[in-house]
Amino acid sequence: MQRDRIIVVILVTVSVLGVLQMPLEGASLEKIDVSYGAISGSMAPIWVAKEARIFKKQGLEPNLVYIPGGPRSVMALLGGSVQFVNHSAMPSLEAYQRGADTVLIASPMNRLDHSLVVQPHITKVEDLRGKIVGISSLGSLTDVVLREGLRLNGLSERDMTILPVGDLSARLGGLRTGRIHGAMVAGVQDLAATKMGFRQLIDFSKLPIEVSGSSILSRRSYVFKNQDTTLRFLKAWIEGIYIFKTNPEFSLATIRRFVGTQDSQVLESIYARYRDKLLERPLPSVGVVKSMLDLLSRSSSEAHEVNPDGFVEGRLMNELERSGFFEEMSRQYRVAQKRRD
């Protein structure tokens, strides 16, 4: 009888501990505001984590906000409107160069995923002389990498007009109306542009440029004061990467909702492209930041004086690695891990 009581007590204790590890039903969730900067598969893990309620499992209730254009995302971050940004690290690095406390805390994709698409009659880069090329905004990633891509192809921004147009729909609209002759797009957006009759002129993924094209960014002051929240946010977002890679049906349904297209070819292309590109261990890299500073130094000599280590906040990702979190995710979702591009 005594032995039976002990067993019952042990079982009850284990059950209670198990319940305590999960958010209580109806318990208050911590609200956070998070922006994503592109309608692109590189943002899919944060969408998947939201739709699969992984943030809720971590006790968080994220409000996802689409803010196109890196500079606008940085303004929202510095103004306190959002706590985390899922975007290219380049605009935040420029803000850090100017004295802001922006930090890179994770980076799942360290290669460019952009293309320059143009009107059908433009067949070579030299034909861009005197033309108008649309980007999202001045100082954005589309702006910085376009200038570098032109340089690598023997042209300069002075050879054409670079026009800030807005998000993808505005850029494609500019191409359709003939207002612009070329536009920067990302990912399989070049497939959509090709279907509309436009031509891919430069594939930036083939150029020797290393950039954190999709990142998780925050402010150092916020991370310092809210380490637990940041850690839980990272856990949920990273689990979103694993779900994205291993559950194509759920992922495709999520992409369809956020991208807003029913074109199965486009959806499947997005999924296939980013399933292979996104890293399961998205540790931020000082080396990649050095590469981005080299790009910025083309237009700002001050970039050479910036300490890249100060922009990288890798302690929380390192903590996840030491704790065995990635191994746990790999076992649960059976994914072969890649560390960096």
Digit-coded pLDDT (tens) for 165-199: 988 888 989 999 999 999 999 876 777 788 889 99
Q: What is the CATH number of the domain that holds 42?
A: 3.40.190.10
Quote the DSSP letter at residue 114.
E
For residue 4, what pLDDT band results from cuts at 50, 70 and 90?
A: very low
Considering the domain boundaries, does residue 196 fall inside one?
A: yes
Alpha helix (H) residue ranges in the chain? 2-20, 44-51, 54-57, 70-78, 90-97, 141-152, 168-177, 189-195, 220-225, 227-246, 248-259, 264-277, 286-296, 315-323, 325-333
- The per-residue pLDDT for range 315-331, each reduced to its tens digit, is 999 999 999 999 999 99
Predicted pLDDT at 44 = 96
Q: Are residues 97 and 223 in the same domain?
A: yes
Q: Are residues 278 and 329 in the same domain?
A: yes
Q: Are residues 83 and 136 in the same domain?
A: no
- The per-residue pLDDT for range 26-83, each reduced to its tens digit, is 569 999 999 998 888 899 999 999 999 999 999 999 999 999 878 899 999 999 999 9
CA–CA separation, 204 vs 225, rounded Å?
Answer: 38
For residue 188, what are the domain limits?
114-206
Please give the tally of structural domains in the chain.
2
* Of 178, 206, 234, the domain-final residue: 206
| pTM of this structure | 0.81
Considering the domain boundaries, does residue 132 fall inside one?
A: yes
Q: Are residues 220 and 321 in the same domain?
A: yes
Considering the domain boundaries, does residue 45 fall inside one?
A: yes
H/E stretch holding 218 reads strand 210-219
Taking 90 as the threshold, does the pLDDT of residue 303 lie above it?
Answer: no
Predicted pLDDT at 12 = 37
What Cα–Cα distance (Å) separates residue 22 from each residue in 51, 107, 329?
A: 18, 28, 17
Considering the domain boundaries, does residue 76 fall inside one?
A: yes
Predicted pLDDT at 14 = 36
Taking 80 as the threshold, does the pLDDT of residue 201 lie above it?
Answer: yes
Taking 80 as the threshold, does the pLDDT of residue 17 lie above it?
Answer: no
What Cα–Cα distance (Å) separates residue 298 from each residue in 70, 115, 301, 341?
A: 19, 21, 7, 24
Q: Are residues 215 and 196 in the same domain?
A: no
* Of 150, 173, 206, the domain-final residue: 206
* Of 153, 172, 206, the domain-final residue: 206
